[in-house]
Amino acid sequence: MIGNPIKKSDFVLSPYIKSNNLRATYQILNTVVPYFLLWILAVKAASISFWLLPPIMVLMVLFSVRCFSLMHDCGHYSLFSSKKVNRVVGFMFGVINAIPQYPWSRGHAYHHKTNGDWERYRGPSALISTEEFAKLSPSGQWWYEFLRHPFMIFPGGFFYLAIKPRLALIAGIYGFWGHLLNYLKQYPDITLMGCFSSYKSKTWYTTAEFWDLLFNNICVVGSWIFLSYFLGVGFFWSVYSITLTCSAALFICVFFVQHNFEGSYAHKTEGWNYLRGAIEGSSYLELPLILKWFSADIGYHNIHHLCERIPNYNLEACHHHNQHLLTRVKTLRIADISDCFKFILWDSASNRLVSISSFREASQPKGVEIGVH
């Protein structure tokens, strides 16, 4: 930062870190109970008229988003004061959202450690640099742009929650059996657990992540089978797939715009600054009161990146307390969201995010003026 640099010690954060178990429990109840009651209401409404379902499903989507936001807090061990309780509750929310919470939280923690360092972390959309984009063929550039079109967050969201964790388990287990056969040839006396501990999977990093992935899949797929039988395959999958797809699209959208916007701090590893990544590489998403509640105040994303241990119910107060230090934070509103989706290239030379159109315009050879002699 130019002038007097702001230090993290300038912020008042410590009073807001303390978790409130009573408040966290209330948040769990006012989220999970209505979500399951809406499922019951949807079943009753469908028996009367399918036209009654859309408003119920809109609420289901919003409560599903809130479930994910609270799962996110559990991953930072901030919702409850107990690490164990956060793990248990986070696992429950992971089942509701069909995603293994523990492996997801590990990946999310890496994002927090590297936010603003675009050499190490390219966001959930796996963005590439302008140099890499220029090397793609015309068809490759078209596919890159197409796959990052805003509407792709819908099929992408469903794949991210419903399909990817199942494929991750299948691919990991398949890889393990190949590893087991090779290992037994080299070390006939090795135990199964010894072989498993030596296995390095691309889909999980630790044994704890494997167990979370395995039990999440058992619970999720088991609930799919049970609810398909109990509610009917057609009804369950119609409501569930639409709800899951839309809720995933919403929180992917929110996450994207909180880091991909005009002027976002997008530095190389050399000279990267963690504090600038938090303040200038994260936006403040100003939402209507009801959407702030459903998103569990994740719009105060700069404060969240300054200290991820602050629970969601303390973010707003912490933001207001430190507002005088947040003058460089980008404020976004709902009307600004669509504009953020064009920033899908990282220009390493200028340390900023750019759109494909602006990159192509800048790459055009300059016209040569021909004088008349």
Residue 5 pLDDT exceeds 90:
no
Residue 365 lies in a domain: no
What integer pLDDT is reported at residue 371 of this predicted model?
45
**pLDDT confidence of 373, banded at 50, 70, 90?**
very low
Residue 369 lies in a domain: no
Instruction: Report how far Cα 263 is from the mean position of its chain's Cα atoms.
Output: 21
**pLDDT confidence of 93, banded at 50, 70, 90?**
very high
Instruction: State how far the alpha carbon of 169 is from the alpha carbons of 77, 163, 218, 224, 245, in Å.
Output: 25, 10, 11, 17, 21
Q: What percent of the chain has pLDDT over 90?
A: 82
Helix segments in 130-232, DSSP class H = 130-135, 138-147, 153-158, 164-186, 192-197, 207-231
Tokens 């989706």 correspond to: 341
| Dihedral angle of Cα 24, 101, 319, 325, to the nearest 10 degrees | 150
Q: Which two tokens stand for residue 163?
A: 């399909």
Distance CA 182, CA 319 (A): 55
Domain count, the chain: 1
Q: Which two tokens stand for residue 287?
A: 């939402």
Helix segments in 258-300, DSSP class H = 274-279, 289-294
Which residues fall within 8 angstroms of residue 157, CB to CB, at 6 or more apart?
244, 245, 246, 247, 248, 249, 252
Distance CA 242, CA 244 (A): 6
Residue 372 pLDDT exceeds 60:
no
What integer pLDDT is reported at residue 101 of this predicted model?
95
DSSP line for 89-118:
HHHHHHHHTTS-HHHHHHHHHHHHHHTTBT
pTM, full prediction:
0.90
Q: In terms of Cα–Cα distance, which of 301, 282, 299 is closest to 334?
A: 299
Residue 112 lies in a domain: yes
What integer pLDDT is reported at residue 178 of this predicted model?
78
Instruction: State how far the alpha carbon of 17 is from the alpha carbons of 214, 270, 306, 310, 311, in Å.
Output: 32, 31, 11, 4, 7
Residue 2 pLDDT exceeds 50:
no
Print the domain residue range for 126: 16-359
Which residues fall within 8 angstroms of residue 283, CB to CB, at 6 or more apart?
257, 258, 259, 261, 264, 301, 302, 329, 330, 331, 332
* Mean per-residue pLDDT, 262-282: 94
**pLDDT confidence of 368, banded at 50, 70, 90?**
very low
Distance CA 91, CA 160 (A): 17
- Check if the beta carbon of residue 284 is closer than 8 Å to that of residue 332: yes
> Which range among 9-18, 21-30, 38-47, 115-124 shows the weakest confidence by mean pLDDT?
115-124
Which residues fall within 8 angstroms of residue 228, CB to CB, at 6 or more apart?
236, 237
What integer pLDDT is reported at residue 369 of this predicted model?
45
What integer pLDDT is reported at residue 366 of this predicted model?
61
Cβ neighbours, 10 Å, residue 172 = 18
Q: In terms of Cα–Cα distance, which of 294, 336, 339, 296 is closest to 316?
A: 296
Q: Whole-number mean pLDDT of the chain?
A: 91
Residue 5 lies in a domain: no
What integer pLDDT is reported at residue 66 of this predicted model?
97
Q: Is residue 283 within a helix (H) or strand (E), and if so which, with residue range?
A: strand 283-285
Rounded to 10 deg, the angle between the 207-231 and 164-186 helix axes is 130
Residue 194 pLDDT exceeds 80:
no
Residue 11 lies in a domain: no
Residue 116 pLDDT exceeds 90:
yes
What integer pLDDT is reported at residue 192 of this predicted model?
65
Q: In terms of Cα–Cα distance, which of 176, 207, 180, 177 is closest to 191?
A: 180
- pLDDT tens-digit map of 201-252: 788 888 889 999 999 999 999 999 999 999 999 999 999 999 999 999 999 9
Residue 221 lies in a domain: yes
Q: What percent of the chain has pLDDT over 70?
A: 93
Q: In terms of Cα–Cα distance, which of 229, 268, 9, 300 is closest to 119?
A: 268
> Which range among 36-40, 199-203, 287-291 shows the weakest confidence by mean pLDDT?
199-203
- pLDDT tens-digit map of 56-75: 999 999 999 999 999 999 99
